[in-house]
């Protein structure tokens, strides 16, 4: 709510003269509060319903009387004409900041006499107290078209007292038959709140919908009040410094200090990037009145691309007074460096597609960027993010592909799709118009390749791809060659040409990477070699392998597949049967299609996995993930297979290709999310009696598949000595299933475990999560989530690959309906519960739900991300049980909001996201 009090002022003192108030003594035997101009402020008016709301900025004693009139005032006659008047008499003491709404149904804690019918044209309201025949004016508000004299107050003269007290008069917009109400609440002294209410920018208007339930919250604070004057500053990384303004209001000069501290736990910038700034103490001792103190934060440009970074600074250790709304300040640092992004022209189902690869080791925000080719521009939306190792796929909107793939691709309209089919260079430019990457249309004519006949087309979608493709070279004639981890078949190059590059070969029989030249004396035939190539060797590699790749335009993938029962226990488990494969064609294929082609060829059960660009993580491929040309992936064969060389035509159709699994099943998917941008999922499927249960292994914590230190987060179900991404449960189960969850991350900090998907769970079944550390049990529903802290101990080290500490923190408990009567209800939550809102993200309405085990006083509030109150949705006594409330955020900007439930001593908060 605060605005800068002084610009570029270093501890400027504002000397305030003593204020003398002339108090008029009322001739009344009844005790009451004497109100001064500005002591009561209007916060809403509605001509359509003849209602209005106001808030006292001072405490009002029982018996206090005041009046509100909509008449025309005359300074000459000192009286109203054509007026309607409402007389308010307080029947109880009213605390400052309490919202008071006038409606025909009555006003709580007030005796009300009279009524006011507001005009659908210009209107005004005067609030005043009467001493005999003298009117002492407190506040005036007016709106509508003003056809009167220039200095008139919407047709009425303005009482003289208002000219001397400008903070007691507010002129709103000029629309007729309109309703106005203030946007957000605020915290501060009465003087601060008077200033806040007076700013028309904080108000909103509406002439179509009914007036909403009042939700503004004002928190009156005793002076002095200290806060940042704003919550966000945007700077460039090349800037030498940025300034944080700390404002203080109504100080009396006594001893007062406060610290401005850097919050490293929630910041993405490092201390080195702010030259080690930790904290600075501000001393306001001796200051009388209001002031702004400037704190300079130095900035250091490290020369590396880091995207948009944030530095969070907080006010701490206040020795006296109160904090205002902005006690944290975000410094948004925009990077000057250009990220490494690669454009690739590939082929899917015989048609050209464009793929954008992230080659950086961090997420890239593409919001506001453009693809350009000639006079064709394609703008990317503000919510376009490209994660580490991820790709965005652009396809023609008329292209016949599975619905699951369309949900993760940009579909281009006819004119835009010409970018894919015509010759020329496609460029990617950032918000400043700087070229980040480019690619030329390859020479081969994809129109000569036969396409699969698809009978249906699906709606357009503009969601970004979740495909996790590795950093790979392509058949396109891109002029930019980046360094990084790359893969090549041993028969395509001479490894001696890259003597200073360590090349690794995956040995399926030993289930580990071996170093060529050290662990093995000769390079195995048809081996896939992995290495980190610098720019010089990467350019050399690109030149040498272009020819071999160009020769394979038939779309036939060839590879060796084998399984080895290393421990000879007649079971293929853990890393046994794990083969490293490379898509050595120029055709992109979905993982779902390739898995079916492989199963048909090998006649065994198998699954496909993906490695991150630096081989620091491995994860299960989803059916709609694209396996792009040159992409390296894993084939995990779950049965014994003799070493066999197979060839698969990726353009070949499969009978069940792109068909949804028609098996009826329930799905529970749990996701753990942390910072920065870490997430991992585990899925539990509930199958019908006819389906055989099969589980998918989670290979993320097997360090033998790493070529770099582990990065990311892992959530896996533990069964015996193995970990699983997907666990299946038969719906005919007649016993309780307990599934321990293992969690690990290379980062320490706060994480959130939440239900990501909740579909067709068997009726009557109860699913619980037990928190072993906190000794609590939670019953799950589709909106459930829980925050927890994790510390990475880094206590496992093997062959220079460090895997994080694995914590068994949670246990999932699945209880069939038939066994519920035998279960103790003591394990079910019996305390106050605040559930995750639904839907989330939302636009513009969402439902907030909570449970209370007994009757009590309830307050449900909404705050923005910096802690400023936005709405008070409930503040009343409620009965026990579950309650649901819809919040309409039509007037709110997109962003993260916090909703807080207060029931007795219980205070619970959750986050929700508004996306418009």
pTM listed for this prediction: 0.53
Decide: 116 and 86 in contact? Cβ < 8 Å: yes
Range with lowest mean pLDDT among 238-242, 455-459, 577-581: 455-459
What is the structure's pLDDT at 453? 28
- Report strand pairing: 169-171 vs 72-74: unpaired
Measured in residues, the chain has a length of 916
Burial of 730: CB neighbours in 10 Å, binned 0-12, 13-18, 19+: middle
Q: What is the Cα–Cα distance from 108 to 92, expressed in whole angstroms?
A: 10
Between 185-194, 548-557, 744-753, the lowest mean confidence (pLDDT) is in 548-557
Check residue 153 and report its DSSP letter. B
210-232: pLDDT as tens digits = 555 555 667 888 899 999 988 88
Residue 606 predicted with pLDDT over 60 = yes
**pLDDT, tens digit, 9 for 90 and up, residues 773-811:** 877 778 888 878 888 888 877 644 444 556 678 888 899
Q: Which tokens hold the place of 377?
A: 């521009």
The answer to whether residues 155 and 837 touch, using CB atoms and an 8 Å cutoff, is: no
pLDDT, residue 463, reads: 30
Q: Which residues of 693-708 are buried (b: 16+ CB within 10 A; e: fewer)?
A: eebbbbbbbbbbbbbb
Confidence band of 208 (pLDDT split at 50, 70, 90) = low
Residue 915 token pair: 């996306």
Coil, strand or helix at 638: coil
Confidence of residue 66 (pLDDT cuts 50, 70, 90): very high
Instruction: Summarize pLDDT for 665-695 with one digit per residue, the tens.
Output: 788 999 988 865 678 889 988 887 656 667 7
In which residue are the tokens 């590059």 written? 501
Rounded-to-integer distance, Cα 634 and Cα 610, Å: 6
pLDDT tens for each residue of 366-407: 888 899 988 888 888 877 888 776 778 888 877 766 555 555
pLDDT beyond 50 at 449: no
The rounded distance, in Å, linking the Cα atoms of 598 and 591 is 10
Preceding amide of 860 cis, omega within 30: no
- Sign of the CA dihedral 51, 112, 168, 874? negative
Query: Is the pLDDT score of 350 beyond 80?
Result: no
Residue from 684, 701, 741 nearest 718 by CA: 741
Cα 578 to Cα 509: distance, rounded to the nearest angstrom: 9
Q: Is the dihedral of CA 321, 323, 324, 328 positive or negative?
A: positive
Half-sphere exposure of 726 (CA within 13 A, CB side): 15
CA atoms 272, 236, 678, 533: torsion sign: negative
The predicted pLDDT at position 691 comes to: 63
Burial state string for 838-856 with b = 16 or more CB within 10 A and e = fewer than 16: eebebeeebebbbbbeeee
Four-CA torsion 449, 453, 458, 462, nearest 10 degrees:
-10
Beta sheet of 279-283, edge-to-edge order: 232-236, 328-334, 309-316, 257-263, 279-283
| 20 compared with 581, residue with greater pLDDT | 581
Contact 47, 90 (CB under 8 A): no
Cα distance between residue 621 and residue 837, in whole Å:
30
- 3-state SS assignment for residue 548: helix
Share of the chain above pLDDT 70, in %: 80
CA dihedral 83, 84, 89, 93 (to 10 degrees): -90
What's the pLDDT tens digit per position in 67-122? 999 999 998 889 999 999 999 999 999 988 888 888 776 788 899 999 998 887 78
pLDDT score at 91:
93
Categorize the per-residue pLDDT at 643 as very low, low, confident or very high, splitting at 50, 70 and 90.
Answer: confident
Question: pLDDT value at position 554?
Answer: 66
Pairing of strands 328-334, 232-236: parallel
Instruction: Report whether pLDDT(3) > 70.
Output: no
On the 0-12 / 13-18 / 19+ scale of CB atoms within 10 A, 877 is: exposed
State the Cα–Cα distance between residues 497 and 531, nearest whole angstrom. 13
Cα maximum dimension of the chain: 110
Would you state the structure tokens that stand for residue 583, as one six-digit string? 């898509």
Point out the least confidently predicted range of 204-213, 609-618, 833-842: 204-213
**Lowest mean pLDDT: which of 650-659, 712-721, 884-893?**
650-659
Cis peptide before 224 (omega within 30 of 0): yes
Cβ burial of 254 (10 Å; 0-12, 13-18, 19+) is: middle
Answer yes or no: is pLDDT of 827 > 60: no
Query: Strand pairing partners for 426?
Result: 439
Better-predicted residue by pLDDT, 227 or 546:
227
Tell me the backbone φ, ψ of residue 755, rounded to 5 degrees: -80, 120
Distance CA 507, CA 527 (A): 9
Residue 423 pLDDT grade (very low, low, confident, very high; cuts 50, 70, 90): confident
Distance (Å, rounded) from C-alpha 215 to C-alpha 183? 9
Closest CA to 548 of 531, 580, 526: 526
Tell me the CB-side half-sphere exposure of residue 576, using CA atoms within 13 A: 18
Whether residue 526 has pLDDT greater than 90: no
d(CA 139, CA 161): 10
Q: What does the pLDDT look like over 300-313, one tens digit per residue? A: 887 777 777 889 99
User: Which of the four pLDDT bands, split at 50, 70 and 90, describes residue 4?
Assistant: very low
As beta bridge partners, residue 53 has 44, 101
Q: Give all strands (DSSP E) within 229-308, no chain letters.
A: 232-236, 241-252, 257-263, 279-283, 288-298
Question: pLDDT value at position 875?
Answer: 86
Comparing CA positions, the residue from 823, 683, 838, 835 lying closest to residue 759 is 683
- The SS3 call for residue 671 is strand
- SS3 track for 53-120: EEEECCCECCCCEEEEECCEEECCCCEEECCCEEEEEECCCECCCCCEEECCCCCCCEEEEECCCCCC
CA 488 to the chain's CA centroid? 38
Taking only the tens place, the pLDDT of each residue in 840-865 is 888 888 889 888 888 888 989 888 87
Q: How far apart are CA 415 and CA 376, in angstroms?
A: 8
DSSP codes joined into one string, 676-745: TTEEEEEEEEEE-TTSPP--EEP-TT-GGG-SS---SEEEEEEETTEEEEEEEEETT--S-EEEEEEEEE
- DSSP secondary structure of 510-534: TTEEEEBTTTBSSPPTTPEEEEEE-
Average pLDDT score, the chain: 78
Q: Which three-class secondary structure state does DSSP give residue 808?
A: strand
Q: How would you list the strands of the sheet with 225-228, edge to edge? A: 288-298, 241-252, 225-228, 322-323
Q: Strand 51-56 vs strand 578-582: parallel, antiparallel, or unpaired?
A: unpaired
Alpha-carbon dihedral 493, 495, 498, 499, rounded to 10 degrees = -170
Q: Which sign, positive or negative, has the C-alpha torsion 713, 719, 722, 728?
A: negative
Give the three-state DSSP class for 880: coil
The neighbour count for residue 612, using CB atoms within 10 Å, is 23
In three-state form (DSSP H/G/I as H, E/B as E, the rest C), the secondary structure along 434-501 is: CEEEEEECCCCCHHHCCCCCCCCCCCCCCCCCCCCCCCCCCCCCCCCCCCEEEEEEHHHCCHHHHCCC
Q: Is 418 helix (H, G, I), strand (E, B) or coil?
A: helix
Backbone angles phi, psi at 789, to 5 degrees: -105, 145
State the alpha helices, DSSP H only, in 551-632.
591-602
């Amino acid at each position: 709510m605060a605005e800068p009090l002084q610009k570029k002022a270093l501890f400027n003192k504002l000397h305030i003269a003593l204020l003398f108030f002339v108090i008029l003594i009322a001739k009344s035997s009844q005790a009451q509060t004497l109100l001064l101009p500005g002591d009561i402020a209007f916060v809403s008016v509605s001509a359509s319903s003849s209602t209005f709301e106001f808030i006292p900025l001072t405490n009002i004693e029982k018996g206090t009387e005041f009046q509100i009139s909509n008449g025309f005032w005359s300074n000459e006659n000192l009286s109203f004409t054509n007026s309607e008047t409402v007389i308010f008499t307080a029947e109880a003491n009213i605390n400052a900041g309490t919202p008071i709404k006038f409606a025909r149904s009555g006003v709580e804690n007030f005796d009300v006499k009279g009524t006011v019918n507001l005009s659908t044209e210009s209107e005004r309201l005067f609030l005043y107290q009467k001493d005999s025949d003298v009117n002492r004016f407190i506040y005036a508000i007016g709106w509508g078209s003003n056809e009167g004299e220039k200095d008139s107050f919407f047709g009425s003269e303005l009482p003289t007292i208002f000219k001397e007290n400008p903070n007691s008069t507010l002129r709103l917009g000029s629309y007729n038959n309109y309703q106005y109400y203030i946007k957000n609440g605020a915290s501060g002294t009465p003087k601060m709140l008077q200033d806040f209410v007076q700013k028309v920018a904080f108000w909103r208007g509406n002439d179509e919908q009914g007036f909403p339930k009042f939700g503004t919250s004002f928190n009156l604070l005793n002076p002095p009040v200290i806060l940042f004057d704003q919550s966000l500053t945007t700077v460039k990384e090349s800037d030498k410094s940025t300034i944080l303004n700390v404002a203080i209001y109504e100080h009396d000069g006594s001893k007062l200090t406060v610290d401005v501290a850097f919050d490293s736990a929630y910041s993405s910038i490092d201390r080195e990037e702010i030259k080690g700034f930790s904290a600075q103490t501000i001393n306001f001792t001796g200051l009388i009145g209001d002031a702004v103190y400037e704190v300079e934060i130095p900035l250091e440009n490290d020369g590396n691309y880091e995207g948009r970074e944030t530095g969070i600074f907080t006010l701490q250790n206040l020795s006296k007074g109160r904090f205002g709304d902005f006690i944290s300040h975000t410094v948004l640092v925009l990077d000057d460096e250009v990220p490494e992004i690669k454009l690739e022209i590939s082929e899917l189902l015989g048609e050209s597609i464009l793929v954008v690869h992230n080659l950086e080791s961090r997420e890239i925000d593409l919001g506001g960027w453009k693809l350009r080719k000639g006079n064709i521009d394609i703008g990317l939306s503000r919510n376009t993010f490209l994660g580490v190792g991820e790709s965005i796929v652009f396809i023609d909107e008329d292209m016949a592909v599975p619905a699951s793939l369309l949900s993760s691709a940009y579909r281009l309209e006819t004119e835009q799709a010409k970018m894919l089919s015509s010759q020329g260079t496609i460029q990617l430019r950032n918000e400043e118009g700087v070229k980040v990457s480019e690619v030329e249309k390859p020479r081969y004519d994809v129109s000569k390749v036969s396409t699969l006949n698809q009978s249906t087309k699906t709606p357009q979608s503009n969601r970004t791809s979740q495909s996790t493709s590795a950093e790979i070279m392509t058949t396109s004639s891109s002029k930019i060659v980046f360094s990084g981890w790359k893969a090549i078949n041993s028969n395509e190059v001479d490894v001696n040409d890259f003597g200073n590059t360590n090349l690794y070969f995956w040995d399926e029989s030993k289930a580990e990477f071996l170093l060529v030249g050290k662990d093995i004396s000769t390079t195995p035939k048809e081996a896939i070699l992995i290495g980190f190539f610098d720019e010089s060797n990467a350019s050399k590699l690109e030149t040498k392998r272009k020819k071999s790749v160009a020769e394979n335009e038939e779309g036939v993938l060839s590879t060796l597949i084998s399984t080895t029962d290393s421990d000879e226990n007649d079971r293929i488990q853990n890393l046994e049967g794990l083969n490293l494969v490379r898509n050595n064609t120029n055709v992109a294929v979905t993982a779902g299609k390739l898995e079916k082609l492989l199963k048909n060829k090998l006649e065994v059960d198998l699954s496909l996995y993906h490695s991150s660009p630096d081989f620091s993580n491995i994860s299960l491929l989803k059916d709609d993930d694209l396996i792009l040309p040159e992409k390296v992936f894993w084939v995990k064969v779950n049965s014994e297979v003799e070493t066999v060389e197979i060839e698969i035509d990726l353009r070949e159709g499969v009978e069940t290709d792109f068909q949804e699994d028609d098996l009826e099943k329930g799905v529970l998917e749990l996701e753990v999310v942390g910072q920065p941008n870490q997430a991992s999922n585990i899925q539990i499927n509930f199958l019908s009696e006819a389906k055989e249960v099969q589980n998918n292994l989670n290979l993320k914590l097997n360090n033998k598949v790493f070529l770099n230190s582990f990065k990311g987060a892992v959530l896996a179900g533990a069964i015996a000595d193995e970990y699983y991404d997907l666990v299946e449960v038969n719906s005919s189960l007649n016993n309780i299933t307990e599934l321990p969850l293992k969690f690990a991350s290379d980062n320490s900090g706060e994480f959130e475990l939440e239900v990501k998907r909740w579909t067709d769970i068997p009726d009557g079944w109860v699913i619980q999560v037990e928190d072993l550390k906190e000794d609590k049990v939670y019953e799950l529903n589709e909106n459930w989530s829980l925050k927890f802290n994790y510390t990475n101990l880094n206590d496992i080290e093997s062959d220079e690959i460090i895997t994080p500490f694995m914590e068994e923190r949670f246990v999932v408990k699945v209880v069939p309906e038939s066994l519920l009567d035998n279960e103790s209800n003591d394990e079910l939550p019996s305390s106050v519960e605040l559930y995750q809102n639904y839907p989330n993200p939302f636009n513009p309405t969402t439902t907030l739900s909570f449970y209370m085990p007994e009757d009590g006083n309830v307050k449900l509030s909404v705050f923005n991300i910096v802690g400023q109150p936005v709405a008070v949705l409930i503040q009343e006594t409620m009965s026990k049980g579950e309650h649901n409330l819809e919040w309409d955020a039509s007037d709110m900007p997109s962003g993260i909001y916090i909703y807080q439930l207060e029931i007795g001593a219980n205070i619970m908060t959750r986050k929700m996201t508004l996306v418009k």
